[in-house]
Structure 1
Amino acid sequence: MARSRVVAAAAACATVAAGSVLIVSGTASAGTISGTLYRDPSTAVARWVESNSGDSRAAVIRDKIASQPATRWLSNFNISAVGSEVAGYVGAANAAGQIPALTVYGITNRDCGGASSGGAPDLGQYQTWIGNIARNLGNRTVVINLEPDSIALLTCLNSSEIAARSQALRTATQILKAANPNAKVYLDGGHSAWNSAGEQASRLVAAGVADADGFYTNASNFQPTSAEAAYGRSIISSLNGQGVSGKRQVIDTSRNGGASGDWCGDDNTDRRIGQYPTVNTGDANIDGYLWIKPPGEADGCRYAAGSFQPDLAYSLASTAPNPPSSSPASSPSSPSSSPSTSPSSSPSPSAPFPTGACGATLRAVSTWNGGYQGEVKVQAGNGTPSGWTVSWTLPAGSSISQVWNGTLTTSGSTVSVRNVSWNGNLPADGSTTFGFIATGTAGTPALTCTSP
């Protein structure tokens, strides 16, 4: 039976090259979500585009995939780290006045031991992990797709294990909704070519959909949107018949614009990206068309599950229609709508071409109460064949909790970020960026860049 096998995208990635196109959803009609979906600047596709601007596929991948909001996956089971990851992501989205979307993927025995096996060692630790996520959701609208395959795929579980999983999902939903009443929580609805609508509805009821906002379908699958919408209406009708009303659907349209059929997208070049992400669905039963599975990330057949593959991305995007509307973005971190809070400091003036190995400039991309997202541009002078290191002194009360596209070390108030493997060797006049989440205020520190 066709189903999904996915692992989350890496959280530590780079931004899209300047001049990219940013497409976001407009004000909702129908459904229950209103606003603009947040496009995370830290994605695998964004990193690839920035590092491969000369690739003949880059423009298509940039304009049709990297420009779009996709969900952030929480799939690495790390109880101590997940809270700061969620806080950084949600905080950046809130500062931009946009809606973050998370896919939570850490249930015990996930994927029945398939290509995306893993998750919490036991359901007790799973609830602790969920609690750390919940405490960092803020109080604004956030979309949560809870545990793909956890309800539609039960073949590896016995009856007592199914009951325990259903209870775990019910408890997780209650924890998330209690922590942030504005959170929109959706449970796994499978897809239209899997379980019957009646069977899926019964499983949803057992898993606590009465406490959720609804269910999502087609996660990492390829069934047409029309088939998914009809399937969703049938599930809603069955839920109503079981005394659960007012539930709505979210549909994953990331890869359903071409062929359907076998579940694995790695091996089928007839897949296409589907409808671009939006909460403006025009359908009272449907809260959003989301890209739950980021296009270009493998399912685990020909490539490692979750790895970004440019040939897959290009195949999905090459013959897809252009986004319905677009507006130039001077930087992928600059949302089309103004942030709710202005940056605490203006972007640093462009540095002159460095006379030595490299130079660096810092800007605050977005700010929120008690924190900010920073971006540092590393500009090569005569080149950095052995890599680069950027150092500066943090303002009093500031600390860095997360870095992407670099490796952080700290010594008192001095921080240093060294390149990672793929962005260290800059040619003369080349450049790259790294980003970070910090507490406190950005200030205007002096940055030094050195190369061994």
Structure 2
Amino acid sequence: MAAIAGATAAGVCLAVGSASAGTISGPLYRDPSSAVVRWVAANPGDSRAAVIRDKIASQPQARWFANFNISTAQSEAAAYVGAANSAQQIPVIAVYQITNRDCGGASAGGAPDLNQYQTWVSNFSRGLGNQTVIIILETDSLALLTCLNSSEINARNQAISTATRTIKSANPNAKVYLDAGHSTWNSAGETANRLRAAGVQYADGFFSNVSNYNSTSSEANFGRAVISSLNGMGISGKRQVIDTSRNGGASGDWCGDDNTDRRIGMYPTTNTGDSNIDAYLWVKPPGEADGCRYTAGSFQPDLAYSLANGVANPPTTAPPTTPPPTSAPPTTPPPTTPPPTTPPPTTPPPTTPPPTGNGCSASVALNQWSGGFTASVTVTAGSADINGWTVTVTLPSGTAVTGVWNAQASGTSGTVRYTNVGYNGRVGAGQSTNFGFQGTGTGPGATASCAAA
């Protein structure tokens, strides 16, 4: 990427120069009523305020539409988009309304059913005007499907496809991106399959890293692989946007509430210098909690300060900022966004060679924190395709499984068997798929074996 300078002392790359992006150009909108701007305005004497003001509040971030209200959807969209249009800046909106979002987890909510979801989308779309607006459509809606059966997955795919076309019909200049999870969740091929099923052919592309902290380079490589897979399906011209709001520091414990090594990443820009990437965005607002120490979605100044401390100032080519708020806060409160469901492991998985013949192997990578852990399991086919798999995981004494994704579990402690779900049972020769689980107790010491169906 020719327009990206070297890393700063804090490990943050900054976009500079005049190289073009993918299909979007122009400054992004800085919301003058965001939680961080309101906090800075209310706490001018706080010792953290200058750092938070200069490095976070100064930057454009997404507005989340997360509270379901059909009657106000149009007016709220029109007010936000209208303010951005008046500032001659591009608004970024994260739509987070899908039925059964977050599989009923920490960020449960959204529309009561898909018919009401479509009504909300129709009303919302009428408020989008006719200028460029970036729509991040339903975080985790395609990467996290474990709570849905096959008919429910099909219904969700249809709902997202219809929503995309509704938005594009109402505003042909809207840029709509669908959920691609992140580079340490589903494989690029599996992600492309899910995007196709959800109508990415009608969208402008996909977004990644909203629910994680993976490096920009890892996400860009993942995006190129997804684009290649889509091209192989006859779906061309799709591009990526990457959330860089919290990916500038060390990996480790997935919960941003507790990790003081993480930093903000690239400042938001449409000037990426990469024809595959339309923008680097701050979709998840820096300083908003993941739900471990604090209420999910709440703005916490100590988190914001930790993310910004020691990071270089924004580049001089950053978009102009909008003035501090002069009106009351928006009626839509900050969203409760989900913590990442499959954090990057702190220890690499063991190097287990793929089996020969019609078999499979499994490896476990763990991320431990006080009192709990998450595990990412990689299932690899041997020299022949497999159509179904069972992974047996032996857990240490005192460990209990509390959640699972991309698999069906039998048991919660001791020896637990995981079988594929409908969409990830078939694995090509030498290829891999992933599932994961979360638990309490001590995860290290878990072992896994695989048997093909």
Quick check: TM above 0.5?
A: yes
| 2:300 maps to which of 262, 286, 309 | 309
1:64 aligned onto 2:55: yes
User: Equivalent residue for 1:253?
Assistant: 244
User: Equivalent residue for 1:239?
Assistant: 230
1:29 aligned onto 2:20: yes
Cα contact 2:21–2:279 (8 A) shared by 1: no
Q: Deviations over 1:312-362 (max 9, x none)?
A: 000000021211117898x8428xxxxxxxxxxxxxxxxxxxxxxxxxxxx
User: Equivalent residue for 1:110?
Assistant: 101
For normalisation by structure 2, the TM-score amounts to 0.67
| 1:153 maps to which of 118, 134, 144 | 144
User: Equivalent residue for 2:8?
Assistant: none
User: Equivalent residue for 1:375?
Assistant: 326
- CA distance, structure 2, for counterparts of residue 105 and residue 27 of structure 1: 33
- Name the SS of the counterpart of 1:281 in structure 2: coil
User: Equivalent residue for 2:180?
Assistant: 189
Moved over 6 A (4+): 23-28, 326-329
| 1:42 maps to which of 27, 33, 54 | 33
Cα contact 1:26–1:36 (8 A) shared by 2: no
1:404 aligned onto 2:329: yes
* Cα offset, 1:275, TM superposition: 0.2
Cα contact 2:16–2:317 (8 A) shared by 1: no
User: Equivalent residue for 2:323?
Assistant: 333
Q: Deviations over 1:228-280 (max 9, x none)?
A: 00000000000011111100000000000002244321121111000000000
Structural mapping, 1:50-449, within 5 Å = 50-325=41-316, 332-333=322-323, 375=326, 403-404=328-329
- CA distance, structure 2, for counterparts of residue 284 and residue 405 of structure 1: 35
Cα distance, 1:297–1:28 mapped onto 2, change above 3 Å: farther
- CA distance, structure 1, for counterparts of residue 57 and residue 267 of structure 2: 12
**Alignment-mate amino acid for residue 40 of structure 2:** V
**Alignment-mate amino acid for residue 326 of structure 2:** E
Cα distance, 1:262–1:194 mapped onto 2, change above 3 Å: farther
Cα contact 2:180–2:208 (8 A) shared by 1: yes
Cα contact 1:26–1:278 (8 A) shared by 2: no
Q: Deviations over 1:281-306 (max 9, x none)?
A: 00000000000000000111111111
Cα distance, 1:199–1:404 mapped onto 2, change above 3 Å: same
* Cα offset, 1:404, TM superposition: 2.7
Cα distance, 1:295–1:26 mapped onto 2, change above 3 Å: farther
Over aligned residue pairs, what C-alpha RMSD do you find?
A: 2.1
Cα contact 1:220–1:255 (8 A) shared by 2: no
- CA distance, structure 2, for counterparts of residue 71 and residue 239 of structure 1: 27
- CA distance, structure 2, for counterparts of residue 27 and residue 188 of structure 1: 29
- Name the SS of the counterpart of 1:144 in structure 2: strand
- CA distance, structure 2, for counterparts of residue 328 and residue 40 of structure 1: 12
Report the count of equivalent residues: 318
Cα distance, 1:276–1:327 mapped onto 2, change above 3 Å: closer
Cα contact 1:152–1:195 (8 A) shared by 2: yes
Cα contact 2:249–2:261 (8 A) shared by 1: yes
- Name the SS of the counterpart of 2:155 in structure 1: helix
* Cα offset, 1:375, TM superposition: 3.3
- CA distance, structure 1, for counterparts of residue 266 and residue 73 of structure 2: 30
Cα contact 1:24–1:36 (8 A) shared by 2: no
User: Equivalent residue for 1:13?
Assistant: none
- Name the SS of the counterpart of 1:265 in structure 2: coil
Cα contact 2:270–2:279 (8 A) shared by 1: yes
Q: Deviations over 1:153-209 (max 9, x none)?
A: 001111111111000000000000000000000000100010000000000000000
* Cα offset, 1:405, TM superposition: 8.0
Cα contact 1:25–1:36 (8 A) shared by 2: no
- CA distance, structure 2, for counterparts of residue 328 and residue 166 of structure 1: 36
Identity between Structure 1 and Structure 2 (%): 72
* Cα offset, 1:96, TM superposition: 1.0
For normalisation by structure 1, the TM-score amounts to 0.68
- Name the SS of the counterpart of 2:194 in structure 1: helix
Cα contact 2:28–2:319 (8 A) shared by 1: no
Unaligned runs of 5+ in 2: 1-13, 332-453
Cα distance, 1:52–1:405 mapped onto 2, change above 3 Å: farther
User: Equivalent residue for 2:394?
Assistant: none
- CA distance, structure 2, for counterparts of residue 167 and residue 333 of structure 1: 41
- CA distance, structure 2, for counterparts of residue 265 and residue 33 of structure 1: 30
Cα contact 2:33–2:330 (8 A) shared by 1: no
